[in-house]
């Protein structure tokens, strides 16, 4: 570790270093492939620190995902607030992903879906965070769609979510050029058709 890294680590709490390390490693390598020792080494903390703050790897996974959800919710709200029209506010979902990826650990796709796949047990503490993220998506998209159309806004919200899920899968696959931009365009066509039909 060089002097700059030493100084940066000294300014960050051990808890935050663990969360940063977990977020980076779980996003890049996957949860199952990332050992506790790797997280400890990356965070420059002793094992007792992890167990004191999170109780173990499962608690760390849930806490890192919770922090990601809190950050994601704020970034998405900022994008919605900055959008000038109801249609643009609905499309802000795609802008928010780009903003999040610029600001925080980008990952290879949706961390919540990836965690759900890696940790299918309903008893895992991260499951509540995964459910909260799904609820946030559905609730906010429905609210935003209601400002766009009174003609079945729930169907519009579901279609935008379906395109969003596809764009996130496109990030995971890495084979489509600009999946977020293309997803935004496709969702825009669907929104415009709802506006025209109203």
Q: Calculate mean pLDDT across residues 111-117.
A: 88
**All domains of the chain in start order, with CATH:** 58-197 (1.10.357.10)
Q: Which of 104, 98, 117 shows the shortest CA–CA distance to 67?
A: 104
pLDDT at 125 over 70: yes
DSSP state, residue 147: T
Position 1 scores a pLDDT of: 45
pLDDT at 193 over 90: yes
pLDDT at 30 over 70: yes
Q: Does residue 107 come out as left (phi exceeding 0), alpha (psi in the -120 to 50 range) or beta? A: left
Alpha-carbon gap, residue 113 to 119, rounded angstroms: 10
20 within 8 A of 12, measured Cβ to Cβ: yes
pLDDT band for 11, please (50, 70, 90 cuts): low
Per-residue pLDDT of 128-183, as tens digits, reads 999 999 999 999 999 999 999 999 999 999 999 999 999 999 988 877 789 999 99
Residue % of the chain over a pLDDT of 70: 92
pLDDT band for 10, please (50, 70, 90 cuts): low
Position 15 scores a pLDDT of: 96
Higher pLDDT, 198 or 1: 198
Q: Which of 129, 151, 110 shows the shortest CA–CA distance to 27?
A: 110
Position 67 scores a pLDDT of: 95
Non-local (6+) Cβ contacts of 14 within 8 A are 43, 45, 49, 53
Alpha-carbon gap, residue 174 to 137, rounded angstroms: 23
Measuring CA to CA, how many Å separate 72 from each of 39, 76, 142, 147?
A: 22, 6, 18, 22
């Amino acid at each position: 570790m060089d002097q700059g890294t030493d100084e940066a680590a000294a300014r960050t709490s051990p808890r935050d270093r663990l969360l940063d390390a977990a977020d980076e490693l779980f996003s890049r390598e996957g949860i199952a492939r990332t050992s506790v020792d790797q997280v400890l080494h990356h965070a420059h903390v002793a094992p007792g620190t992890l167990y004191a703050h999170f109780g173990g790897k499962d608690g760390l996974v849930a806490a890192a995902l919770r922090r990601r959800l809190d950050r994601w919710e704020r970034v998405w709200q900022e994008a919605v607030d900055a959008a000038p029209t109801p249609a643009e506010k609905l499309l802000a979902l795609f802008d928010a992903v780009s903003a999040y990826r610029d600001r925080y650990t980008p990952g290879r796709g949706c961390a919540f879906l990836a965690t759900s796949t890696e940790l299918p047990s309903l008893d895992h503490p991260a499951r509540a965070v995964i459910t909260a993220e799904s609820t946030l998506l559905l609730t906010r998209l429905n609210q935003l769609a209601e400002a766009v159309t009174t003609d079945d806004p729930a169907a519009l919200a579901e279609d935008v979510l379906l395109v969003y899920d596809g764009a996130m899968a496109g990030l995971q696959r890495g084979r489509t050029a600009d999946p977020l931009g293309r997803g935004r365009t496709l969702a825009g066509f669907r929104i415009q058709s709802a506006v025209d039909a109203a």
